[in-house]
Amino acid sequence: MLEEIRNFVAVVQAGSFTRAAEELEASRSVISKRLSQLEDQLGVRLLNRTTRRLSLTEAGEQFYQACSSSLGSIESAVDEVRSLNREPRGRLYVNLPMSFGILHVAPLIPRFMAAFPLVQVELNFDDRKVDMIDPGFDVSIRVGELDDSSLAARWLGHFQHWVVASPAYLKANGSPVVPQDLTQHRIASFRLQNSALEWSFTDPHGNSEVVTLAGDIVANNSLAIKEIVLGGGGVARMPSFYVEREVETGSLTRLFPALATTAGSMYAVFPKREYMPAKTRAFIDFLVEALAPSFESH
C-alpha cells in the first residue's frame, strides 16, 4: 500500500489530481486509480471529489495526518540508507590476525579515520579463521590460504617464510648447515599454522625437501614466538614481514637465505554482496594502497 499512500498524500498536498500527477510523473488517470484502490483496501472514502475541488473526509483527514509524517520518516530513512553507499559512514567491524593487525594495520587507522571522519572503526584481533557472517564483520584480513569460496577477496600483498634464530642461540648451539640439521635444534612454532612443523625448502635448481620437526616451544601468537627467538630460545620459521627489521639490524640471523621457503599472501575478505557498503569499499581500497609499498617487493 505504500505507493498508494504516497499517491494519496501527494494529491492532498497538491490540491488536485493534475498537479499531483505532474509531481509524481504519472498520468491523471493512474493517480485517480491508485486513490480508488487505496479506498477499496481501507474500506472508507478518503476524498470527496467534485469537478472543481477536492476535500478530505473525516477519515481522510485522520489518515492524512498520520501518513504524511510517517511517509516523511520513511523517505528520510531511505535517503539515509542510500547515503551509506554514497559516502563512507557508520561503524566498520574489522577482524584481523593479532600480530599482523597490531604491527601493520593498527598504525594505519588514524590515517583512515582522518580521510573518512564519518566512519567508526571496531577492531577484533583473533588469529583463528572466524566465521564472518555470524559476528557481523564487514571485512577480515587473512594471512595465508583462502579456503572459503563463499567470500569475496582482495589481494593485499605477498611474503615468504624465513627461518631465523638469534646470534646468541647459534653461537651456543651451532648454526645448521643444511635444512636436515634443524632436527637437532630447538624449534619454536606457531600453533594455528597449517604444516607448522613441516618446513619445505627448494634450492635454485628446483630440488625440494621437507623437514619434519618437533615443536619444543609452541605458541598461538607470532609476536610471542619472535620474542622467544630474540631471547635465544630456538629457531623459528616466520613470515618475513615480522622479522625483516631484526634481520637487517642483526638481532636475528636468517638461515638458508639461498633456499626458497613457503610463500604466502595477505587478503581482505568480505561477504559477497551485490551492493558493498561505501565504508567497506573505502577501507579495502585504503589498505590496498597503504600496504602495497611494503609488500609488493616481498
Whole-number pLDDT of residue 80 = 62
Per-residue b/e over 168-189, b at no fewer than 16 CB within 10 Å? ebbeeeeebeebeebeebbbbb
279 and 241 within one domain:
no
Least confident span in 4-8, 32-36, 65-69, 149-153: 149-153
Whole-number pLDDT of residue 110 = 97
Instruction: Answer yes or no: is pLDDT of 290 > 70.
Output: yes
The Cβ of residue 121 has, within 10 Å, a number of other Cβ atoms equal to 15
- Is 145 or 61 the better-scoring residue by pLDDT? 61
Whole-number pLDDT of residue 174 = 95
**What CATH number should be reported for the domain holding residue 144?**
3.40.190.10
Residue 46 · residue 4 · CB < 8 Å: no
Q: What's phi and psi for 277, nearest 5 deg?
A: -60, 145
153 and 272 within one domain:
yes
The confidence band for 51, taking pLDDT boundaries of 50, 70 and 90, is low
Last residue of a domain, one of 60, 86, 112: 86
184 and 256 within one domain:
yes
pLDDT digits (tens, 9 = 90+) for 223-247: 899 999 999 999 999 999 889 999 9
Q: How far is CA 192 from CA 163, 196, 219, in A?
A: 17, 8, 8
Whole-number pLDDT of residue 215 = 81
252 and 170 within one domain:
yes
The confidence band for 275, taking pLDDT boundaries of 50, 70 and 90, is low
The confidence band for 22, taking pLDDT boundaries of 50, 70 and 90, is confident
Q: What's phi and psi for 250, nearest 5 deg?
A: 90, 0
Strands 235-239 and 187-190: parallel
Measured torsion, CA atoms of residues 149, 152, 155, 156, in degrees rounded to the nearest 10: -120
**What CATH number should be reported for the domain holding residue 229?**
3.40.190.290
**What CATH number should be reported for the domain holding residue 55?**
1.10.10.10
Whole-number pLDDT of residue 193 = 65
Whole-number pLDDT of residue 73 = 73
103 and 19 within one domain:
no
191 and 68 within one domain:
no
Whole-number pLDDT of residue 101 = 92
The confidence band for 32, taking pLDDT boundaries of 50, 70 and 90, is confident
Instruction: Answer yes or no: is pLDDT of 64 > 70.
Output: yes
202 and 121 within one domain:
no
286 and 150 within one domain:
yes
82 and 19 within one domain:
yes
229 and 187 within one domain:
yes
Whole-number pLDDT of residue 180 = 96
Query: 63: which 3 cell numbers?
Result: 489518515
Last residue of a domain, one of 86, 121, 143: 86
180 and 112 within one domain:
no
Last residue of a domain, one of 86, 118, 146: 86
- Number of structural domains the chain divides into: 3
Instruction: Answer yes or no: is pLDDT of 149 > 70.
Output: no
Question: Whole domain around residue 259: which residue ranges?
Answer: 159-263
Residue 234 · residue 109 · CB < 8 Å: no
Least confident span in 9-13, 100-104, 127-131, 209-213: 127-131
Least confident span in 2-16, 153-167, 184-198: 184-198
Instruction: Answer yes or no: is pLDDT of 84 > 70.
Output: no
- Specify the long-range contacts of residues 243-247, CB closer than 8 Å, at least 24 apart: 243/162, 243/164, 246/164, 247/162, 247/164
Segment 270-277 mean pLDDT: 74
129 and 171 within one domain:
no
